[in-house]
Amino acid sequence: MVTGYGAVTPLGHSADATWKAMVAGRSGIDTVEAIDVTDLGVRIGGQVRGFEPGDYMPAAVSRRADPYAQYALAAALEAVEHAALVVTERLAPRISVVIGSGYGPVGSIYRAADRLRARGPRAIGPFTQVTTAMDSSACEISMRLGTQGPCRAQSTACASGSDAVGAGMRMISHGEADVVLAGGADACVTTVDLAGSGNARALSRRNDDPTAACRPFDGQRDGFVMSEGAAVLVLEAAEVAEARGATPLAELTGYGASSDAHHWTAPHPEGRGACLAVEAALRDAGVTGTDVDYVNAHGTGTLLNDATETAVLRRVLGERVTRIPVSSTKSMTGHMIGAAGAVELVASIQALRTGDVPPTINCDDPIDPDINFVAHHTQHHRGLRTALSNSFGFGGHNAALVIRAI
C-alpha cells in the first residue's frame, strides 16, 4: 500500500503544490540562473527555485548535504507526515529506506574537485567522502528519522526512482521490511551535465522559449530538458497500515524491469527491453493491457524515445491504447532523471484518486493522432482503476510500475 508521499520539484516544494501546477498545465522550465550558462549551447532547465534548506533541516545537515540529498530529505519528511507515520523503537528496525538517483551528489563532487585544485588537500572536509557518495540521501533520511531497516541507494539512470519503488515493494513482499520509504532524487542542472548531455544532442535547444522546450510526443520535439527534484513514497504492508489506522492512497500491484543491452543513449529500435519491463509489471500485477486505464509515459521529448515508447504501448496494450489517456508530465517538470519515476508515480496516484489526468503541454502535432496524449489541458476521466507508469533510461535501463485505485 502507498500511504503517503512528498515531493520537491520545479513546480513546487510539496506534492500538493506540484500536483496543482500539473493540473493547471504550468511549466517549471526556464532559463537556468543558479550557474553560469553563458558558454553553453543549452541554457534552460527545470530548477527547484526558492528552496530553503533551513525549513527542513538543521544548518549542520544542509552544509554537508548535496542539494539532491536536501530535496530527498524534504520529500521524505513530507511523505512521513502525509502518512502519519511515527518511527517508534519497535517499528524502526522494520522500516527501510531506498532512494534512487541517476547522478547522485554531482554538484558536491564538482565543488570538491575545484577546492582541491585551488586550495589543496587541507581544503577537503572530513565528511566529503561520505557526503559525495550515492547513498548520502538515503543515509540522511535514515539518520533524521531513526529508521534501522536496510538503507540503500539505487542507480539505474532515468529508471532509478521507479526501480527504488520496485525494490521497496519487493522488500515488503519478501518480508524484509514492513515499511519502506522509497523514491528518487537528482540535482544535476550543472555546467558539466548540461554540457555533456547537450553535446550528446539529447537536450532541447529552445533557449529562447523555455516553457515550450519540452514537447513529448510532438512532431517538433528536439530533446529533453534537464531538471532536478525528488519524491519519496511511504510503502507499507497492508496489514501494518491497517493495524496503525493508516489511510491507503493506492495499491502498488506490479513492477517490472529489464535492460536493452543495446546502446548507451539510444533505446532499442524495436523497444524490446521496454516491452519486457511493461509486460513483466502487468504480469506481476495480475492484469493485462486491456485493464490499464491511464499511462503516465516516460515521454521525454526526444526523437527516438517518444517514437519507441509509442510503438511499445501499441504493442503491449493493443487497441486499448487508443481508448485511454496517455500523458507525459515531463512536459511541465522537465526530466528529473532519478526523481522522475517517483514524481510520476505520485502524479499517477493522484490521477486515480481524482480522475484528473494531467496534460502533455506543448503537444501541438501528436506523432500518433489516434492516441489521446491529453494535449495542453487536464482531462477528467471517470472510473480510473489501474495506471501504468513507465521509466526508461540511458544504459538501456527500463522499469514499469502498476498501481490500482483503492
pLDDT in tens, 105-116: 999 999 999 999
Q: Tell me what the pLDDT averaged over the chain comes to.
A: 97
Average pLDDT, integer, range 66-82: 98
Q: Which of 264, 233, 267, 300 is nearest to 46 (CA)?
A: 300
Average pLDDT, integer, range 373-400: 97
Question: Which secondary-structure segment (H or E) carries 236?
Answer: strand 228-236
C-alpha cell read off for 241: 497500515
Question: Which secondary-structure segment (H or E) carries 185?
Answer: strand 179-187
What local confidence, expressed as pLDDT, does residue 53 receive? 98
What local confidence, expressed as pLDDT, does residue 218 receive? 98
pLDDT in tens, 353-368: 999 999 999 999 999 9
Q: Would the CA dihedral through 126, 132, 135, 138 be positive or negative?
A: positive
pLDDT in tens, 290-311: 999 999 999 999 999 999 999 9
**Phi, psi angle pair for 170, to nearest 5°:** -65, -40
pLDDT in tens, 4-60: 999 999 999 999 999 999 999 999 999 999 999 999 999 999 999 999 999 999 999
C-alpha cell read off for 277: 519491463
Q: Which of 283, 281, 342, 330 is nearest to 305 (CA)?
A: 330
| Cβ contact 177:91 at 8 Å | no
Amino acid at 71: Y
Instruction: List domains and CATH numbers for the chain.
Output: 2-244 (3.40.47.10), 253-404 (3.40.47.10)
Average pLDDT, integer, range 80-106: 97
pTM above 0.85, yes or no: yes
Q: Which of 261, 277, 270, 372 is nearest to 326 (CA)?
A: 372
Considering only residues 7 and 200, tell me which one the structure prediction assigns the higher pLDDT: 7
C-alpha cell read off for 58: 538543521
| Cβ contact 270:312 at 8 Å | no
What local confidence, expressed as pLDDT, does residue 349 receive? 98
By the 10 Å C-beta count (0-12 exposed, 13-18 middle, 19+ buried), 374 is classed as: buried
CA dihedral defined by 375, 197, 194, 358, rounded to 10 degrees? 20
Only one residue has cell 561520505, namely 130
C-alpha cell read off for 32: 537556468
pLDDT in tens, 232-252: 999 999 999 999 999 999 999
Which residues is 325 bridged to in the sheet?
A: 372
Write out the catalytic residue numbers. 158
pLDDT in tens, 150-188: 999 999 999 999 999 999 999 999 999 999 999 999 999
**Phi, psi angle pair for 278, to nearest 5°:** -65, -45
CA 182 to chain centre: 11
Rounded CA gap, 276 and 197, in Å?
27
The model's confidence at residue 135, banded by pLDDT at 50, 70 and 90, is very high
